[in-house]
Each structure stands twice: as C-alpha cells, then as structure tokens.
Amino acid sequence: MAIEKHTTPMLDQLETGPWPSFISGIKRLRDEHPDARINEMTNDLLGQLEHSYETRKGYWKGGTVSVFGYGGGIIPRFSEVGKAFPKSKEFHTLRVQPPAGNHYSTGMLRQLADSWEKWGSGLVTFHGQTGNIMFIGTDTQNTQHFFDEINEYGWDLGGAGPCVRTAMSCVGAARCEMSCTNELKAHRALVNNFVDDVHRPALPYKFKFKVSGCANDCQNAIERSDFAVLGTWRDDMKVDQAEVKNYIADKGRQYYIDNVITRCPTQALSLTDDNTLVVNNRDCVRCMHCLNVMPKALHPGDDKGVTILIGGKRTLKIGDLMGTVVVPFKKLETEEDYESMVELAETIIDFWAENGLEHERCGEMIERIGLANFLDGIGIEPDPNMLSHPRQSSYVRLDGWDEAAESWFERQAEAGK
Amino acid sequence: MADMREPIESGCPDPWQYMHPMMRKNFGQWKYHDHPRPGVLLHVAYSGDKIWTVKAGTQRILDVFTLRKLCDIGDEFAEGYVHFTLRSNIEYMVTDEAKVQPLIDTLEGAGFVVGGTQNSVAMISHTQGWLHCDIPGTDASGVVKSMMDELIDEFRNANMPNRVHITTSCCQINCGGQGDIAINIQHTKPPKINHDLVANVCERPSVVARCPVAAIRPAMVNGKPSLEVDERKCICCGACYPPCPPMQINDAEHSKLAIWVGGNHSNARGKPTFQKLVAAGIPNNPPRWPEATAIVKRILKAYKEGARDWERVNEWIERIGWPRFFEEVELPFTKYHIDTWRGARASFNSSSYIRF
C-alpha cells in the first residue's frame, strides 16, 4: 500500500551538498524499506521535522517509559502534534551502553541492525554525547521487545536521569602510543560496579565517569565528567636521542625550537648545540605536547598510573566547572589498585548522595561545601597538587594549624620524603 | 506481568571480543604513529606490526541501510572490525598498506568523507535538536549537515594550525560541549508561561530551585497556583523549561544563535580552557543557517592565517589578544562580552598589558 508522503521542501534542501545527508537516509527508510511500519513511521517523522523547520519549534515531550525491572535508560518522546503525524507519535530512544572504547565487529553491528529494524524505526547513532548507542524511535511496547532481544545477546541499557551514566573511554592502549593506563579496564571496573545506580535513578543528579589514557584527554574527561581518570607517569619520560636528531634533520632545528622547546609550559626542555634534547623531569607536568610533536622520539615513562579529578560539568546551575585533582597519582596495575579506585568512586558517590542537594552535580556540591570539607568527607588528605595556588583570602580560622602541620610532616615521613 | 523477563544487568560489554586482532595483539605496546595523509593514521608497535586507520565522516544519524553499507566496507577491507571515534566518525583498521587506497576510494565512492585526522576541522559534535530532543531551540543534525557541507575541505585536508573541534547545541545546557568553536542557542527573552497548566504539570518547588538567579517564585495567577518570573533578573537560560514545559523558553524569533570560541579540553601546552562568547544575536535560520556558518568560516580563516603551528584557537587568541581577534574576525565588541557571573573578576585585565 502506497503511503501519502509528506512534502518536505525545507528538509529537501539538506539533501544537497557534499556531506552525507541524514535526511536522505531517513527518506530511504520511508521509500525503500520492506516493512510498511518503518515506511509510515519515518514518513511521519519527516513530516514532524519539516513542521519544526517551518515553525522553528520542537514538538517532543518527555514522559515515563522504562523496561521491566529498570527505571532509566529510555528517553521517552511523545509528539505534541501526534494527530497530524500519528505513526511517529511515540518515538522513544533506547540508550544502550557501547563496549568500552567503541570497538565493534560488523557481525555484531548487523545483529543489532536486524533487531532494531524488527522493533524500531531503523535509525541509530554511534554515539550520543553521553556515549551511548542511541536507538532512535520506537513505541512503548516495542521498547521492551527490543531491549529483551538485545539484552539476551549481551547488551544493556545505559543511564538516563539522576543516575550513574554510561561511561566513556578513549581508544587508548588498543591503538595509541600515548596510553598510560588500561582505559578499557578502568572504564568497565568503574561503571560496571554501579549497574544498580545506572538502571535505577536515585542520585541527586547525573554522575559520569570518563577515562583518558593521557593528558591530551581526547575523552574530554576533565571538562565533562564528575569522575575523570587520566593516565600519566611519574618517572622520567623516555627520550630516543637518535630519533630526536632524525626529526631535526627532517624539519630543521628552528622548527623544533619554535614548536617544542619554547612551547613547554614549564620550560623543562632545552636543545644542546649537538641537537641532544635535555629534559628536566622534575619540572615536567606531563602535558603531552612534546610527545605529540615527536611521537617517535619521546614516550611516557615506565612508572605509569592515573590522576583522578572530580566534579567536571557544564553550565547548569552554577556555571562551568572543570574537575579538580583529588588523587594526584595512583598506580593502576594490580587488581587491588582497581578495587581501591572503585572504592573511592563508591565513597564519593555515597558522600554526594548523602550531602548533595536535589539536581546538584558533585562539583557543585564541592563548590558549596568547600574542597577541604569534601576531602575530609571522603577521607583524603590535602595535597598541593590539588590547587593552582594556595588561598588568597585571609578570611579563615586557623585554630587547627599546628595539628594540620604536624599531620603533614607525619605523612611526608611515612612517604619517605 | 507474568511474561515479563528479568533484565540481565550486564552493564558495559567487554570490547576485547569486538577489537581488531592486530589491536588485541599489540594492546598497550604501540611505539609511535604517523600521518601518511589526511584521514589516515599509521600506528607502529614495538613488535614491528603496523596498522593503518582510515577515518570517515558520516551523517551520524544512521539508517540501517547506511549502517549495513558501513559493515560491508568493513567486511571487504578491515577483517570485519570497526571503531567509532568520540566525534562519531567511523574508523577502519587495515594491516595491509595496499588496502588503504582502495578503502578510501570505496568510502568516498559510497558518499562518506575520508578525513578528520590531526590538524583538520573535525566532525562537529552535536546534540539531537528537533529530531528527538524535548527542549530544543533549534535543530542539530541539520545545522551540522549545512556547516559540514561548507567545511568539507577543512575536514578532508589537514591544513589547519592544529585540530579544530566544533560543537553545536540546541539549548544552553550545551550537550554538544566545549569546542574551539561552539554554536549554541542563546535565548533572549524570558519564558512565556501558560499559567493554566503550571500547577498540574510542574513540581513548583523544584522549578524554583532550578533557577540560577532566583528569579522564579510561586504565585497565584488567575486564581490558580502558578509560577512567576522576575523578568529584570531572568537571564533567559531556559533551566526552568525542562522541568516545567508550560514555561516555554523557545521562541521562533527571539531564540538566537551565539558563537563561542576557545574551548580546549587538552592539557597540551596549557591547562584545559572553557569557551568564551564572541558573537550573538545570530538568526536561527533553517534549513541552512547561513549566517552562523559565515561567522564560523570567518573565524576559521583568521585562525588559519594567523595561528602558528600547534596553536589551538584559544592559544592563538591568547597570543594575539582579544582586541585583535575581534578586529580580525570583524565582530563587534559589546558590553555583553563582559562577564557578570561568579568569578567574572578573574577575566578582567588588572595589568598595564594593552594591545594596539
């Protein structure tokens, strides 16, 4: 049966130009897919989207849709103009957790595609901004059917709402020489410890884990996660002086003076007259720049670990916050190391669940109660690496100074310093 | 209820089973990488093994036909494995250099765009917009399609001073995130309240609590419990709208686009930075948003001409100074560029450093 296709003069303009067109893809589902349900659903979706383009207004409303046993993971969408576009009047998205690092076999992608066209619209995104596979567009009943089917062969929903969210990690050790940790293992150890908090939203607000293998932070962990794990090292970086000389032979001495030596944020590099690179490792902050420019010559050291920053988020409600260093360096090698990192995450989430206000991100709570109180609450001692600089304001009571100073010297002695 | 099945709470799947065998074999043992041409990376392991990665941009919102096409290409060239980047590009890994060019030709022939590596303009990371979001002031995929049509050469050719991350967001929550250039909705008028609906739809105390400037208070309107907004205080952020849809913030005329620059999440050379406002009042103009794209292109042109190798947008501006930036991109500087939020003082110039 031929469907009556909505005219889409504005959307049609998005089929011109060289970049792949999502409109052409949706039209293919409307025009070529063998399942009439998908033809009709995508036809009405295009109709509603054209209506949005004409009126410059969105027409989806949220609601409550979930799968049996879970409270989250679905983004429900009900159309406000469902009378005009009935076949897409329910158009929910399932958020499905990708494998850590976003690796897929084509066989698995095909299996997911087969399941999705059976129960959904046939539209999918790898991946949304939280990091989920987004299966876009199905009705309330088929949400459950699709979930049941893919859940049987190894897939689970991610988080939506005030819960632990789907985690993200960079490609890392799988294909990057900068990697200083096993990102995939850290990612899964953290998020899979909290499946209950992912699936049943009961926290003050969202909580995100992100893992980057080095300070390049390709994963954008510092700016966009409540619990950011960044790989680093604490011994000397490795320098292959022969490769340094090869680079200089290739692009010239001035290029490397202008682009490596003078760009070091702590002036930790110098180049001798015979083109030997001298690194003052005590001054190096592991920013990664020189390694990025000379990847053949410079490599992370052997004593690798992670830095953990807490409380990154975007604007709402108090403005943008970067994560703050809470663990300057932590080894992440043995099972015990991973366990203690997961325990730290539990401690932080528990403290925040107890003390955070409704709709208050962890970083906002830290802003409100103060970093020192937060550290006290999670049982971590203060460290100068947590700050850019010590306090400027003299408005502070210092009655406990002597004990605090003594505690510092005791800790230094314990650390053998 | 009897036929309901219990979910298997398997969480995040193990990627090992889906990872290219060459990446499994050399996991954590990569020595260096090279960039043989735009869109292609070569990684070399300590074992001597080599793997070439070909990166391609797609429409991101994939229909199953396109997804299967991408799988076909993966089966033909990449041993049945793919990897998605954090900006929704697809990557194919090949272990035979002879396959690289045919793979590129096949991807381009199928309508995908090979590029996006190193110092290119990367794929725009974006939100859901009118296609799926419940609070969008504009579209996302359509804006990105329009912009990438214009920026495709910058995606294909890695000839920028450093990588450029562009993001778009269809409300001020900014799911698209920080970017070297960010194009975001900026509402310019307070919400229009449908007082007949508020009491039945909104949990009023939590809506009051959402407001970052305490401009919302409970009130009786037309004899019904509702909410009112002190419009002198309101900053038009739209935070009240998601929990209370009768407080409509989106407006076909007054929801404008704003452009921000200098967001950089890398620690390389300097600490991460947040984006800063440079342009606002840009019409939200579907289906092609030409006004916003024109400004983005002006910023990219000035950056490309003026920045040094490896300088990201924020570092370039830091070096040349904001006065010259506004001059070079021909954008007005106004009182609205002066921050008024907490911590604003840190952005004022308390020195004798003046640019001429």
| Residue B230 domain-assigned (yes or no) | yes
| Residue B327 domain-assigned (yes or no) | yes
Neighbours of A329 (CB within 10 A): 17
On whether both B157 and B199 belong to a single domain, the answer is no
Mutate to test the interface with A, among B131, B211, B241 (most CBs of A within 10 A): B131
So what's the architecture of A161-234+304-388 in CATH? 2-Layer Sandwich (3.30)
Those of residues 144-183 in A touching chain B at CB distance below 8 A are: 147-148, 151-152, 154-157, 166-168, 170-171, 173-177, 179, 182
**Strand A209-212 relative to strand A227-233, pairing:** parallel
Is residue B147 within 8 A of residue B166, CB to CB? The reply is yes
Question: Looking at residue B183, what is its pLDDT?
Answer: 97
pLDDT in tens, A244-267: 999 999 999 999 999 999 999 999
| Residue B6 domain-assigned (yes or no) | no
On whether both B183 and B272 belong to a single domain, the answer is yes
On whether both B273 and B184 belong to a single domain, the answer is yes
On whether both B182 and B264 belong to a single domain, the answer is yes
pTM of the model: 0.97
| CATH (domain of B178) | 3.30.413.10
On whether both B58 and B26 belong to a single domain, the answer is yes
Structural domain of residue B161, as residue ranges? 121-188+252-339
Is residue B77 within 8 A of residue B106, CB to CB? The reply is yes
Is residue A132 within 8 A of residue A95, CB to CB? The reply is yes
CATH class of A238-299: alpha beta
For chain A, say whether B205 makes contact (Cβ under 8 Å). no
Question: Looking at residue B1, what is its pLDDT?
Answer: 56
Those of residues 191-220 in A touching chain B at CB distance below 8 A are: 191-192, 195-196, 198-199, 215-220
Take residue B67 and report the two structure tokens written for it: 């997804």
For chain A, say whether B136 makes contact (Cβ under 8 Å). yes
On whether both B173 and B291 belong to a single domain, the answer is yes
pLDDT surpassing 90 at residue A73: yes
On whether both B200 and B298 belong to a single domain, the answer is no
pLDDT surpassing 90 at residue A1: no
On whether both B288 and B200 belong to a single domain, the answer is no
pLDDT in tens, B296-326: 999 999 999 999 999 999 999 999 999 999 9
- Per CB-CB distance under 8 Å, the chain B contacts of A188 are 11-12, 14
The minimal CB distance from A188 to the residues B14, B59, B252 is found for B14
What is the pLDDT averaged over residues A147-159?
A: 98
User: What is the count of structural domains for chain B?
Assistant: 3
For chain B, say whether A13 makes contact (Cβ under 8 Å). yes
> Nearest CA to CA, how far is B261 from chain A (Å)?
15
How far is Cα A53 from Cα A65, in angstroms, rounded to an integer?
Answer: 27
| CATH (domain of B215) | 3.30.70.20
pLDDT in tens, B177-203: 899 999 999 999 999 999 999 999 999
Neighbours of A254 (CB within 10 A): 9
| Residue B10 domain-assigned (yes or no) | no
Q: Which residue has the tokens 């920045």?
A: B307
How far is Cα A162 from Cα B206, in angstroms, rounded to an integer?
Answer: 14
On whether both B181 and B304 belong to a single domain, the answer is yes
Do A238-299 and A161-234+304-388 fall under one CATH topology?
no
